[in-house]
Amino acid sequence: MTEATVETRVRFAETDGMGVTYHGNYLPWFEMARVALLDGMGIPYRDLEREGFLLPVLETGLTYHQPSRFDDRLRITVRLVEKPKARLRLAYRVERDGELLVEGFTVHAFVNRDFKAVRPPDRVEEAMRRAFGSHSA
Amino acid sequence: MTEATVETRVRFAETDGMGVTYHGNYLPWFEMARVALLDGMGIPYRDLEREGFLLPVLETGLTYHQPSRFDDRLRITVRLVEKPKARLRLAYRVERDGELLVEGFTVHAFVNRDFKAVRPPDRVEEAMRRAFGSHSA
Amino acid sequence: MTEATVETRVRFAETDGMGVTYHGNYLPWFEMARVALLDGMGIPYRDLEREGFLLPVLETGLTYHQPSRFDDRLRITVRLVEKPKARLRLAYRVERDGELLVEGFTVHAFVNRDFKAVRPPDRVEEAMRRAFGSHSA
Amino acid sequence: MTEATVETRVRFAETDGMGVTYHGNYLPWFEMARVALLDGMGIPYRDLEREGFLLPVLETGLTYHQPSRFDDRLRITVRLVEKPKARLRLAYRVERDGELLVEGFTVHAFVNRDFKAVRPPDRVEEAMRRAFGSHSA
């Protein structure tokens, strides 16, 4: 379990005057996939946040191959690309009917509410090890 | 001082596939004007928030007379419409070159971080009385 | 068929510094429900838009009873409140586990790409009559 | 003239449940700076768009060094990093009181309304040559 997929339908609110999805609006979709990935790993982000562990984005990059449009039904897939150490690196693909529209990545680190780097709770480290174990198995 | 005006320039991100500003994006502009009004009254929202006083929107309404478009330069004016009691009622106008595009209102109440209704700090009540005094003078 | 319900999960992007959904972000959720309603009536908004018929929001109002928070699963229900004439009036309810959080309405009119009021295509008027007929039956 | 700077004040709408600016909301700020750069070069984006020339983002990347918060006053600087050829590459810096918070870049190409790559109008190519000439002088 180092991968998750979510589906979304492009909202009119997410389009811009070019008639396509505004480029910044892919980041909340990446977030949806990331939230589903953490759910699948048994460490829902909602719980982490309540315990005071935040996982902000430190770096991101996106490549736009094709635009998406209002009402398009999209699949967003996220993948943990390497065994997480101090940082977590995730890769994303946005597809419509099997066609790749956008690729991207995010890099994260655990911080506390004052944005100081912290070690995540043990169960998070364990969940990540487990995820990678099952992946390589 | 029961009124404030701010200016903004429509961002491409704020437009939608109709080529006009998405109707929901007027609310952050109302917020900009409201923040400026509180500044002018000597009770910056930033300070209130730090002290644990939040001022959420309980009700809002907007009437759209004319669309605005990318790069339009708009003036947003906010006005305290009555002496605040438990609730604060504000009225807004969005104009372009003197033409009224959108009208609206918001209703607020002070709450604490748990969203329980609270009396605002004394200096807030005083600032509001002062604002209304100077207005009726 | 004068009603539709959609579900959504609150995105982190939709929350604000108060830790709750930003009040303006309910409007895209209303839009999701409205799009589903038009789908159910056999007149997808995507098709209308391609034919040059736009259905902008002329008026809206929202009352916030309770905040929603990150990761909440919400149901948004929209209802055509009266037989549409020149204007279309829709009412919305946002609920979490059966609890009403937010109520609202939108008023729309058909316009062309230059934002001039136009009569909708015949099939739209028919779909609306049909929807109301089945409702009152 | 290969650089432009704009100022913005963080809106509450732009913050998220972590109490900081949502990472995706830097992209509309990059856009504000880019629009100002094109203005300064004598080729306002608004005019290009009206003539049917769009300049979508093909690629972007952001590195977040420090969070920004509600009401922070930020400076966003954009710079044309090389003489534009088929693609336009821009670099951005977001600063608060001289402290670098976020860096990023965007890559663009001119397309027509059907998103087919096109040569920009002659006056655009000329404006870009002129901008670079004055820069190297």
Residue of C nearest to A14 (CA): C28
CB contact at 8 A, C115 and B67: yes
Give the type of residue at D120: P
On whether the CB atoms of residues A14 and A25 are closer than 8 A, the answer is yes
Give the nearest partner residue to A23 out of D60, D63, D67, using CB atoms.
Answer: D60
Please check whether residue D21 is in contact with residue D64, taking contact to mean a CB–CB distance below 8 angstroms.
no
Contact D13 C22 (CB under 8 A): yes
Per-residue DSSP letter, C96 = E
Could you tell me if C20 and C91 are in contact, meaning their C-beta atoms sit under 8 angstroms apart?
Answer: no
Which pTM value belongs to this model? 0.96
Mean pLDDT, range B8-21, rounded to an integer? 97
Minimum-distance CB partner of A31 among C12, C46, C49: C12
User: pLDDT for B102-127, tens place per residue?
Assistant: 999 999 999 999 999 999 999 998 99
Once rounded to an integer, what is the mean pLDDT over residues D115-136? 85
Confidence check: pLDDT of D26 > 90: yes
Q: What is the pLDDT of residue B84?
A: 80
Tell me if B23 and C56 make a contact (CB, 8 A cut-off).
yes
Shortest Cα distance from D83 to chain A (angstroms)?
21
Interface of D with C (CB under 8 A): 12-13, 15-17, 19-20, 22, 24, 69-70
Q: Are A128 and A2 spatial neighbours (Cβ–Cβ below 8 Å)?
A: no
Specify the pLDDT at position B1. Answer: 74
Instruction: Give dist(CA C100, CA C75) in Å, integer.
Output: 10
| CA dist B118 → A30, A43, B43, C19, D122 (Å) | 38, 35, 17, 18, 62
For B55, the closest chain C residue by CA position comes to C18
| C-alpha span between C55 and C115 (Å, rounded) | 9
pLDDT band at C136 (very low <50, low <70, confident <90, very high): very low
Separation CA C135–CA D6 (nearest Å) = 54
Q: Is B3 left (phi over 0), alpha (psi -120 to 50) or beta?
A: beta
D25, D59, D62 member nearest A59 (Cβ): D62
Touching subunits for chain D (3+ Cβ pairs under 8 A): A, B, C
* CB C6, CB C80: distance < 8 Å: no
Return the structure tokens found at D17. 């449940």
Residue among B70, D59, C82, D85 at smallest CA distance from A60? D59
**DSSP-H helix ranges across chain C:** 26-40, 45-50, 122-136
Name the more confident of D6 and C129. Answer: D6
A20 vs D49: CB contact, 8 Å cut-off?
no
* Among A85-89, C59-63, C127-131, the range of highest mean pLDDT: C59-63
* Range in B37-51, D8-22, D122-136 with the lowest mean pLDDT: D122-136
Dihedral (C-alpha) A63, D56, D122, D43: value to the nearest 10 degrees? -130
- Tell me which DSSP letter residue B16 carries: -
Q: What residue in D sits closest to A54 (Cα-Cα)?
A: D18
**What is the reported pLDDT for B134?**
56
From chain A, pick out residues whose CB is under 8 angstroms from the CB of B13: 16, 22, 24
DSSP-derived 3-state class of residue A71 = coil
Helix (H, G, I), strand (E, B) or coil at C5: strand
Q: Which residues of C touch B27 (CB under 8 A)?
A: 23-24, 27
pLDDT range class, residue A134, cuts 50, 70, 90: low
Q: Which domains does chain B have, with CATH numbers?
A: 3-136 (3.10.129.10)
- Cα(D10)–Cα(D24) distance, rounded to whole angstroms? 13
pLDDT for residue B25 is more than 60: yes
pLDDT digits (tens, 9 = 90+) for C11-41: 999 999 999 999 999 999 999 999 999 999 9
> Which chains are within 8 Å of A by 3+ CB pairs?
B, C, D
What whole-number distance in Å separates Cα of residue A5 and Cα of residue A75? Answer: 7
**DSSP symbol at D87:** S
Indicate whether B47 pLDDT > 50.
Answer: yes
What are the chain C neighbours of D24 within 8 Å (beta carbons)?
13
> Which of D59, D66, D89, D116 would you mutate first to test chain A, the one with the most A CBs within 10 A?
D59
The C-alpha of C111 sits at a distance from chain B's nearest C-alpha, in angstroms, of 11
- C95-104, D2-11, D116-125: least confidently modelled range: D116-125
Split at pLDDT 50, 70, 90, the class of D109 is: very high
Task: Give residue-wise pLDDT tens across range A26-81.
Answer: 999 999 999 999 999 999 999 999 999 999 999 999 999 999 999 999 999 999 98
Write out chain A residues lying below 8 Å of C47, CB-based: none
How far apart CA D84 and CA D73 sit, in angstroms, is 31
Contact criterion met (CB < 8 Å) for D56 and A23: yes
**Predicted confidence (pLDDT) at residue A99 exceeds the cutoff of 50:** yes
Nearest neighbour of C13 by CB, restricted to D16, D69, D70: D16
Query: Cα-flanking dihedrals φ and ψ of residue A115, to 5°?
Result: 65, 30
Q: How confident is the model at residue C129 (pLDDT cuts 50, 70, 90)?
A: confident
Question: What digits encode the pLDDT tens for the residues B66-105?
Answer: 999 999 999 999 999 888 888 999 999 999 999 999 999 9
| Beta strand segments in chain A, E | 3-9, 57-64, 73-80, 88-96, 99-108
Q: Which percentage of chain D shows pLDDT scores above 90? A: 87
Q: Rg (Cα) of chain A, in Å, rounded?
A: 16
Q: Which residue has the tokens 């509410």?
A: A113
**H or E, element range at A27:** helix A26-40
Long-range Cβ pairs for the range C100-104 (8 Å, 24+): C100/C65, C100/C66, C101/C64, C101/C65, C101/C66, C101/C67, C101/C68, C101/C74, C102/C26, C102/C62, C102/C63, C102/C64, C102/C65, C102/C66, C102/C68, C103/C62, C103/C63, C103/C65, C104/C26, C104/C30, C104/C60, C104/C61, C104/C62, C104/C63
A132 pLDDT above the threshold of 90: no
pLDDT of residue C52: 94
Q: Which helix (H) or strand (E) holds B48?
A: helix B45-50
Least confident window among C79-88, D13-22, D117-126: C79-88
Q: Please check the confidence at residue B44 and state whether its pLDDT lies above 80.
A: yes
ipTM above threshold 0.90: yes
* Encoded amino acid at D123, one letter: R
